[in-house]
A and B are shown apart, each in its own frame.
Chain A
Amino acid sequence: MNGVQDSTSAAASSQSAQRQVRVQLVSKQEDIALPESTGPILVPTGLRRYALSTLVNNLLGNDKPVPFEFLINGAFLRTSIDEYLTANGISAETTLEIEYIRALIPPLHIASFEHDDWVGSVDVLSATSPATSWASAVVSPGQERILSGSYDGLLRVWNMSSQIVATSPSPADGGHGASIKAAKFVSPNTIVSAGLDRTVRLWKYNESDDGFSGKITPQIELYGHKSGINSLAVHAPSNRILSASADHNIGFWSTKKSDAPAAPENLVPSAASRSSKRRKVSSSVSTPQRGPLALLSSHTAPVSAAIFDTNDSTVGYSTSWDHSLRTWDLVTAALVDTRSTSHSLLSLEHLPEHHLLATGTSARHITLIDPRTSATTISAMTLRGHTNAVVSLSRDPHSSYGLISGSHDGTCRIWDIRATKTDKDGVVGESVYSITRRSLEEQGKADAKRVGGEGVKVFSVCWDRSVGIVSAGEDKRIQINRGEGVLSSA
């Protein structure tokens, strides 16, 4: 590789011995920034990323070379500088400003936590997770917790050494009566979960002092949805929860018992109903039952995801199978805006720095939508690469440009919205890395193509700064991946 690179660069330098370009190398990260005195450097235009990376490493005097990526005008350099200049019609006379950042290192598999059933949802409690920061609590390194909601109706809290710290009670003791499809930490001591039993449940999570055992006790049962709940969003400072349900409604809930109205009678399973006769749901534990603050109904198909605006908790966004993305004013529970696409939307994530909403579609791609009314086009960019529906999205905690997606094709893909290529449909994003399921590799079928991601579908993905990428899926596992080295130094 090195030899090839050298020979090509030598050839390039001999070919364009006269052609040199003045570049100014800058970095926004202080630990890898060049000293201020470093002026523009004259480099041959034949250089590529690898040669530039070597150059920067030399300038920094690193003993251990750090791979860098280079950005010119906000786009990754994927060709030689010469080709870039030609393609963009930039004169070689000008001083080129090149920003360099650490290259992402392929995330390595750290651990897998095995479950009894499919894992529908996953969340992380760490020093950097939102639940911790909202509660201004301290989670010491090594004491991170991972929450998983499984299709067997149980919530589990794991520590980082793949031990179950706590498990939620069974249906008989006030647990979920059906599969859990969404679970989240509201605070280090509060958990919210929802699933196909149409309820949102708030749990109290207590941990013993040694941190090896804990207890999840039901706190409130929230009734209001008439069909399964697909996703939850939490905003702890305002004590609000958003839920997206297949009954075409979005639930808006309070986490406080006192705030919430009474539960609607007809939706609470009563002793008279057939199901209660059949299964002894009426448990020994009696949990307070509450109703929604508001049900936002405007979608015409199952709602797949609902989130709070990252900056403004009174604004909510929702996506639905009816192809639309809707903006809500949560204070008045009013519909503000509707953006229609051409596919069913299955997941949603907010990228506040770019005023974009990333939404995963059933058509196997991620669409970036600008929700502001001033935006002229519905779709700002499309990220293509998945081979099945994209059902989960999470922000990169390190970069405002990064994004991870979990898909039914059994992979998680890391995206950088600056990494683009020009396709026949315009500018299309490419994934930076793809994380496959460890379970496939263990079975020795890593290369085997699973039709429709059968058995390895990813249902949920969460990217935490300290824990890494946590994903859960049909293979009954939570899988943790981390780009070792780079992330620790960052």
Chain B
Amino acid sequence: MSAAKVSKKRKAVTKDVEEEAGVFSGDELNVGDIDGALSDDANDLSSDEEDSEVELVDDFSSDEDDDEEELDSDEIPSDGEAPLKKKSGTSAADLEVPTNDDESSSEEEQPNFRIEKDANGNDRYVYDEINPDDNSDYSDVEENANTIGNIPLSFYDQYPHIGYDINGKKIMRPATGEALDALLDSIEIPKGFTGLTDPSTGKPLELSQDELELLRKVQMNEIPEEGYNPYEPLMEWFSNKQEIMPLSAAPEPKRRFVPSKHEAKRVMKIVKAIREGRILPYKPPSEEKEEDLELINYDLWADEAERPDHPMHVPAPKLPPPGYEESYHPPPEYLPDNKERKAWQEADPEDRDREFLPTDFGSLRKVPGYGEFVKEKFERCLDLYLAPRVRRSKLNIDPESLLPKLPSPEELKPFPSVCATVFRGHKGRVRSLAVDPTGVWLATGGDDGTVRVWELLTGRQLYSVKVGEEDPVNVVRWRPSKDAVVLAAAAGDDIYLIVPPILDPELEQASLDLLDAGWGYAASKPAPKASEEGKKTTPPQWVRPSAALADNGVCAVIPLRYVAKSISWHRRGDYFVAVCPGSSTPASMAIAIHTLSKHLTQYPFSRRIKGGGPPQTAHFHPSKPILFVANQRTVRAYDLSRQLLVKIIQPGARWISSFDIHPTSSTASGGDNLIVGSYDRRLLWHDLELSQRPYKTLRYHRKAIRAVKFHPSGRYPLFADASDDGSLQIFHGSVTGDMLSNASIVPLKVLKGHKITGELGVMDLDWHPREAWCVSAGADGTCRLWM
């Protein structure tokens, strides 16, 4: 049996192997021999292989040739196993009955035993009981068969019988017809005559037709089997076509394995490294095994009862005996020192490694009662009641981290922080003040009916004029342009336009010309009819001031007939809006827009704004033709060119005192921002893009807020409010250019200094046009510059 043949056979399908097994069964003996030899061989080989594996380390490359051989020889043992398995089946089959093959194979398919599990869990073969029925072999024996066994018949040549039957009777030699029979036989040779004598019967052996046919085929070198087609169509098992299913489910045999030289080199490297000690092949077992959460540990000794000593019984481990620490009188080295004691006492009861503290009592009688007794009993009771006890969860939140991250005021410098100048001179309250556009002068107006102009830095009064005989000056505002200097002041029912005589001749002339230009325009208009004169809604005519006032720099007077409390200039300086918030003022005359160049007064609103009482104050938008008007509860934006209500802002305050529009509103940086101050102590920041409700509400004052103001330049993102509690508050409120981020508001400074007089504190405030300086008007008769 050459290796080549075997290998070819292995490649064939299993079905083939079974058929071939039949061929093998023909020479059983050989099979056994081969088997034994091969199994020895296999053992040798396997041991060889072990050796070679060890040697692999040393000289791998030299081993390659051996491997080749081993590959070949390695196939044999696995081959030998296949016929061995079949042996039980094939040996049972009869030699001369090829048709029995099927039966034997069917027998093989149905084993005559069952497999059961024995007590140890091993397989146990239970064979069927043999039933001696008619099918048994004994009944098969013929009545008069010869029983002499397998001995030559020539032993009986000298006897008349040729043997004995089963009953011991002699089987007589059949009569030999001698000559006659020989003659007859020579004349008539029966079909199947062989001339041989059947040894078992002593009769002439006759072959059947089938046997004859078989012999003939053997003689003719034909295949003896009936119906065998040697030219069956070729089944191409191995072709270039890739099949989806494998031909065989058998696992890839080991002999197919071709060891990778590359891997071997890498292994060599590792081995070398290990030898040289660069790699430690064994990791020392880690000390602590991570606790497997899924692993369930059963308490084997949970209900341990007393049992007699037995080798198969492992008793529960005993608790360690109490140590020195538990002793009432432990040796001094077990006593904790102060530090340990303190650490134990401060630790949480759950965190303590010991439940007790070793204590030295000197003698047993000094040991006190167990202190935790009642507590433990109580806990036990709670356990029995299944009373849940709140699990204490520590809140480890740093309160600082909860505060919003505000930049420190130090980083947001400059902002006004100290009082630099006190302007003293007004008798009674200072109601309003304003810094002129050049930032050199400060105008103030107060209860004493005077309008005063001061040098800002030194606090020197430069100019004073008494415009209101009895009435206080409610508001002063500079015209916001540098080409001419005009101060508007509202006192009593009139608004006075003043050119203070502190200017150089050129500028003074320009200012006077600006104010005088309107006289001619007003005169050219038809005078109001007498009938209209009586009507209250007629716009007032501007008049020239009295000689005394004219000498003091007052250039024009607008008789409004009602007390104006708010004046706001348009950015270009040609218009200003005055608001008369008095409740007696007719709704149509509460808001008046005055045109400087035409000496014209207009009433843009004919009806009262719905809801929220009389209007309080009004401002022009810094860049758009929009007028913001605030009544007690809402701020409304009107588009003057289209005569439309654009927006209603609801700050939620009960009584708005003042508001201001961010100077960069609607320019490069985003939308409009508005701050609103209210008498109910709130300062509200509105981002008009966000909502009509306030973006932020600041409640820092104890009393009403009277004035709010943004820094006008836009260079410093500052705004301030003035309150009746005598303080100003400075805030940083930067409006970012993009629409994505909201304004950040940081409170910077509380400026205190004004005395509260008659429940009133700071009445008005204004910013320096360029610097981070602000001025405030106090009810105590002083103004202050903060820088």
Contacts and interface: CB of A to CB of B under 8 A. Distances in A.
Interface of A: 118, 151, 178-179, 196, 198, 225-228, 246-247, 266-270, 273-275, 278, 301-302, 321-322, 342-344, 346, 362-364, 387-389, 391, 408, 451-452, 454, 457, 459, 474
Contacts of B509: 273
A278 B551 contact: yes
Nearest to A452: B419
Contact of A246 (B424, B440, B551): B440
Contacts, number: 93
A275 B508 contact: yes
Contact of B420 (A226, A228, A302, A408): A408
B514 interface: no
A267 B507 CA distance: 9
A226 B508 contact: no
A466 B422 CA distance: 35
B220 to A, nearest CB: 123
A387 B418 contact: yes
Given A179-B460, A301-B439, A273 B505 contact: yes
Contacts of A278: 501, 551
Interface SS of chain A: helix, strand, loop or mixed?
Answer: loop
B508 A227 contact: no
A391 B784 CA distance: 18
A425 B414 CA distance: 16
B600 interface: no
A326 B301 CA distance: 96
A226 B440 contact: no
A361 B616 CA distance: 40
Interface of B: 414, 418-422, 424, 438-440, 455, 457-460, 462, 501-502, 504-509, 512, 551, 753, 770-771, 773, 784-785, 787
A452 B771 contact: no
Nearest to B440: A246
A195 to B, nearest CB: 11
Given A266-B505, A362-B420, 4 more contacts: A267-B506, A301-B439, A454-B421, A454-B459
A270 B504 CA distance: 11
Contacts of B506: 226, 266-267
A198 B504 contact: yes
Contact of A459 (B439, B458, B512): B458
Nearest to A120: B458
Contact of B439 (A118, A179, A321): A321
Contacts of A246: 438, 440
B504 A273 contact: no
A212 B93 CA distance: 165
Contacts of A363: 414, 787
B505 A451 contact: no
Contacts of A266: 505-506
B556 to A, nearest CB: 14
B508 to A, nearest CB: 7
A145 B22 CA distance: 149
Contact of B462 (A196, A198, A247, A364): A196
Contact of B512 (A226, A227, A274): A274
Contacts of A342: 414
Contacts of A301: 439, 770
Q: Residue among B438, B505, B512 with the most chain A CB within 10 A?
A: B505
A451 B419 contact: yes
B408 to A, nearest CB: 13
Contacts of B439: 301-302, 321
Listed from nearest, the 4 A-B pairs whose CB atoms lie closest are A226-B504, A452-B419, A454-B422, A266-B506
Contacts of A151: 460
Given A179-B460, A363-B414, A389-B457, A454 B505 contact: no
A292 to B, nearest CB: 14
Contacts of A343: 414
B505 A275 contact: yes
A346 B457 CA distance: 10
17 contacts: A118-B458, A196-B502, A228-B440, A266-B505, A267-B504, A273-B509, A274-B501, A275-B501, A301-B770, A302-B440, A342-B414, A363-B787, A387-B418, A452-B420, A452-B421, A452-B459, A474-B458
A389 B501 CA distance: 28
A452 B785 contact: yes
